């Protein structure tokens, strides 16, 4: 059995997995303020689109690692593991090593697990390279940040934007609801907004029904005491 790297040499040659950060809210806000006035800032659209592309790639790599296949940060080899944090990940491609526990800590608590929105992150990574105009990139951005986790199951929970845009869950959702729309907004963006609001309603109704059912059960137990 491979021995675990020492604390000093936790990652071979100091090469650690690197994860692209979430996009600042201010950049997204500027996109929507421009769009509400009918302005398409091609440079800003490209900057945000690339940042989201890199973030989505990081999410997919971290999610795959969480499911049992860690990517070597030196050569890209996929290293299978059994989630034993003390076990050594040994890359057969280049000899890079670390423990699964050390690898896991590099993405822990960074909103990098794709959860029920993996389909959206995969779609963006697949479609972005073929988006050959600022308008197409803008529409990809708009669609991506208005997806909900688990929406394909008909049970939307939190916005996928929580994985993509800086801020806590409630802050990101409030931010999305405050984005600017106006006469100049792209028709597709207005449609995404309407769909987002409907998914929010479905989500809120679902959780309200769960809370009410729980209260009814609690009330029934008290009456039977």
Whether the per-residue pLDDT at 224 is higher than 80: the answer is no
Q: Are strands 88-90 and 78-80 parallel, antiparallel or unpaired?
A: unpaired
Summarised one tens digit per residue, pLDDT across range 162-174 is 999 999 999 999 9
Q: What percent of the chain has pLDDT over 70?
A: 93
Q: Which is more confidently placed, 34 or 225?
A: 34
Summarised one tens digit per residue, pLDDT across range 65-111 is 999 999 999 999 999 999 999 999 999 999 999 999 999 999 999 99
Helix axis angle, 118-127 relative to 134-145, nearest 10°? Answer: 170
> Is the entire prediction scored with pTM above 0.85?
yes
Cα–chain center distance at 151: 14
Instruction: Say if CB 160 and CB 149 are below 8 A apart.
Output: yes
Number of residues written out for the chain: 225
Q: What percent of the chain has pLDDT over 90?
A: 79
Summarised one tens digit per residue, pLDDT across range 36-54 is 999 999 999 999 999 999 9
- Residue 1 has what pLDDT? 41
Instruction: Say if CB 36 and CB 182 are below 8 A apart.
Output: yes
Confidence class of residue 218 from pLDDT cuts 50, 70 and 90?
confident
SS3 content of the chain, % helix, strand, coil (to 5): 60, 5, 35
């Amino acid at each position: 059995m491979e021995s675990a790297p020492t604390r000093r040499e936790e990652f071979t040659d100091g090469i650690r997995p690197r994860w692209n950060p979430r996009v600042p809210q201010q950049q997204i806000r500027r996109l929507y303020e421009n769009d509400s006035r009918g302005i398409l800032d091609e440079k800003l659209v490209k900057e945000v689109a690339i940042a989201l592309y890199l973030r989505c790639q990081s999410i997919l790599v971290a999610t795959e690692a969480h499911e049992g296949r860690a990517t070597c940060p030196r050569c890209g080899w996929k290293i299978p593991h059994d989630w034993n944090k003390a076990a050594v990940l040994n890359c057969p491609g280049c000899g890079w090593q670390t423990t699964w526990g050390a690898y896991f800590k590099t993405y822990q608590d960074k909103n990098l697990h794709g959860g029920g929105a993996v389909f959206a992150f995969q779609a963006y990574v697949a479609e972005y390279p073929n988006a050959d105009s600022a308008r197409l990139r803008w529409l990809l951005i708009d669609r991506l940040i208005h997806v909900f986790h688990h929406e394909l199951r008909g049970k939307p929970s939190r916005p996928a934007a929580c994985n993509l845009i800086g801020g806590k869950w409630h802050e990101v959702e409030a931010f999305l609801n405050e984005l600017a729309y106006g006469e100049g907004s792209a028709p597709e963006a207005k449609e995404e907004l309407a769909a987002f609001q409907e998914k929010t309603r479905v989500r809120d109704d679902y959780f309200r029904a769960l809370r009410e059912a729980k209260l009814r059960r609690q009330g029934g137990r008290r009456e039977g005491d």
